[in-house]
Amino acid sequence: MIEKTVAELSAALAAGETTSVALTQAYLDQIAAHNETLNAYITVCADSALAQARAADEARAAGSTAPLLGIPIAHKDLFCTEGVKTTSGSKILHNFISPYDATVVERMQAAGAVMLGKTNMDEFAMGSSNESSYYGAARNPWNLDRVPGGSSGGSAAAVAADLCAMATGTDTGGSIRQPAAFCGITGLKPSYGRVSRWGMIAYASSLDQAGPLCKTAEDAAILLNVMAGVDDKDSTSIDLPTEDFSAALNDSLEGLRIGLPKQHFAEGLNPAIDRAIRSAVAELEKLGAVVKEIDLPNSDLAISAYYVIAPAEASANLSRFDGVRYGYRCENPVDLEDMYKRSRSEGFGEEVKRRIMIGTYALSAGFYDAYYRKAQKIRRLVKEDYARAFEEVDVIIGPTTPSPAFELDSMKDSVTMYLEDIYTIALNLAGLPGMSVPAGFVDGLPIGMQIVAKDYAEAKLLNVAHQFQQVTDWHKQKPALSTAAKTKEA
């Protein structure tokens, strides 16, 4: 049962084929069996999950038809969960029991979902491998020597290995799409402003966006229906008419115009991925889509602009972690400055400190124009590239990542790691919605196809992804967990 999709589980629960308690217990058993190896969860909430499951079963008996009633979910550990430890993957929040719920958590709960626990992640969502987590790296279920991607690596690994039915993630530069690609699952980054950021521990406020990690596009639509919507607590959430994201899933792709950015099929792309994506696109052509090459001339600069804007915003967002009101404080500070400096230096990991340093430098007197302002100008150019492209095409398709999941500890310097996000990062700058769907295997590892649509056109993305999943079965492939575990032991 645990390998089923959300849609299937909903049907099974509604038909009385199983109960939420049974289902929740099954996932808890799977967690017990595999989390030690995968390290996908930082916190597992077995007791409260079972209590919620019982409540869900009772609610169903009483006639409730909430969309996610009784279905177990895992939340990335940067969503604040009242009464439950919320760490953002950092030592500095090792003891932080959130006094409130994130809007996303609240909505999932209101929809009847059962929270299994909190998933592992790169510290403060800064990373593409999950290795910067203070709680140890999560592993890729397809190969335990490989990273699950990041920063939502724990969520992706948990979904791939059936340690939950669905999970939440956040995407600042690719943090939903890249781990989804690496773990062979479906991940959706909605348009900026589509989902409330209230209660989501900020990395880079103008780029961060929450979205679902799940098994199919159909599930992603169901989850987005629950997550999306304006929130008075988030000034940057957008007030759009309520939309049923499942409504267009079965629309025909006849005449769909697909753009393939030449910059995303260029040097640096693993040739096997190149081939896999082109054959995936050929499947879409068979469904009636027409394909043309497009130009995104400022693609290369997106990563440069991103590594100014994200660290700059982060440098300020992370100033609140100062050892005064909550979180880690160093032992025996001699004075205030010592308390600040040691609490922060001991509480933050290396990558976080590096990005704070970069951001602080980029904003400092004399450098603002050359870095921050310049990056914001590039940001506009990147957005304009996409706007131009969308005059000619309906969706833009390419690889999610240039290579499949890499080995743990293999990225020796930050810059090499940063280049892993080369195809995903521009969307965050432009605020556009994007998805990664499984599109093949390279060296036994799953790879992802990225689909991009224009502002607020999530329904179009989901339609294309769903139609693709009707004619392919990459998303149905499962990692051989016990084998993987044995490999590790050997």
What string marks each residue from 425 to 454 as x (binds another protein by CB under 8 A) or -? ----xxxx----------------------
Name the catalytic one among 20, 88, 129, 175. Answer: 175
**Taking CB under 8 A as the criterion, which residues in 5-34 touch another protein?**
none
**Taking CB under 8 A as the criterion, which residues in 260-299 touch another protein?**
298
Which class for 165: exposed (0-12), middle (13-18), buried (19 or more C-beta within 10 A)? buried
Q: How far is CA 66 from the centre of its chain?
A: 24
Catalytic status, residue 454:
no
**Taking CB under 8 A as the criterion, which residues in 366-405 touch another protein?**
368, 370-381, 383
Answer whether 182's CB lies under 8 Å from 446's CB.
Answer: yes
Question: Smallest Cα–Cα separation from 122: which of 87, 85, 74, 81?
Answer: 87
- Closest to another protein by CB, 282 or 370: 370
Contact residue for another protein among 49, 176, 201, 426 (CB under 8 A): 201
- Closest to another protein by CB, 233 or 478: 233
- Contacts of residue 302, Cβ cutoff 8 Å, sequence gap at least 6: 378, 382, 422, 425, 426, 429
Rounded CA-CA distance 233/229 in Å is 12
Instruction: Give φ, ψ of 211 to 5 degrees.
Output: -165, 175
Catalytic status, residue 410:
no
Contact residue for another protein among 18, 25, 48, 206 (CB under 8 A): 206
- Closest to another protein by CB, 320 or 388: 320
Contact residue for another protein among 28, 56, 78, 437 (CB under 8 A): 78
Number of residues lying near another protein (CB under 8 A): 101
Residue the block writes with tokens 């409540």: 55
**Taking CB under 8 A as the criterion, which residues in 79-118 touch another protein?**
79-80, 86, 88, 93, 96-100, 102
**Taking CB under 8 A as the criterion, which residues in 399-428 touch another protein?**
413-415, 418
CB of residue 102 vs another protein: minimum separation in angstroms?
6
Is 283 in a helix, a strand, or coil? helix
Q: CB 85: neighbour CB atoms within 10 A?
A: 17
- Closest to another protein by CB, 134 or 372: 372
360 interacts with another protein by CB under 8 A: yes
Buried b (16+ CB within 10 A) or exposed e, 467-490: bbbeebebbeeebebeebbeeeee
- Contacts of residue 135, Cβ cutoff 8 Å, sequence gap at least 6: 39, 42, 87, 89, 120
Answer whether 77's CB lies under 8 Å from 123's CB.
Answer: no
- Closest to another protein by CB, 277 or 375: 375
Name the catalytic one among 10, 20, 76, 133. Answer: 76
Pair of tokens at residue 104: 């996303």
Which stretch in 52-60, 201-209, 284-292, 458-466 sits in contact with another protein by CB under 8 A?
A: 201-209
Which stretch in 38-46, 275-283, 360-368, 394-402 sits in contact with another protein by CB under 8 A?
A: 360-368
CB of residue 257 vs another protein: minimum separation in angstroms?
23
242 interacts with another protein by CB under 8 A: no
Pair of tokens at residue 61: 């008996």
Question: Smallest Cα–Cα separation from 152: which of 214, 213, 217, 94?
Answer: 213
Contact residue for another protein among 125, 358, 411, 465 (CB under 8 A): 358
Quote the crossing angle between the two packed helices 217-227 and 6-14, to the nearest 10°: 80
Pair of tokens at residue 70: 């009784």
Rounded CA-CA distance 437/457 in Å is 17
128 interacts with another protein by CB under 8 A: no
3-state helix, strand, coil in the chain (%, to 5): 45, 15, 40
CB of residue 359 vs another protein: minimum separation in angstroms?
8
- Closest to another protein by CB, 10 or 191: 191
**Taking CB under 8 A as the criterion, which residues in 298-357 touch another protein?**
298, 300-301, 303-305, 307-308, 312-313, 315-316, 318-329, 333-342, 344-345, 348, 353-354, 356-357
Q: What does the DSSP 8-state code read for residue 200?
A: B
- Closest to another protein by CB, 81 or 469: 81
Pair of tokens at residue 215: 């098994």
CB of residue 112 vs another protein: minimum separation in angstroms?
23
What string marks each residue from 170 to 199 as x (binds another protein by CB under 8 A) or -? ---------------------xxx---xxx
Question: Smallest Cα–Cα separation from 121: which of 89, 148, 73?
Answer: 89
Which stretch in 226-234, 264-272, 443-451, 459-467 sits in contact with another protein by CB under 8 A?
A: 226-234
Name the catalytic one among 88, 151, 152, 436. Answer: 151
Rounded CA-CA distance 295/260 in Å is 8
- Closest to another protein by CB, 359 or 404: 359
- Closest to another protein by CB, 17 or 350: 350
Catalytic status, residue 175:
yes
DSSP annotation string for 108-126: HHHTT-EEEEEE--SGGG-
**Catalytic residue ranges:** 76, 151, 175
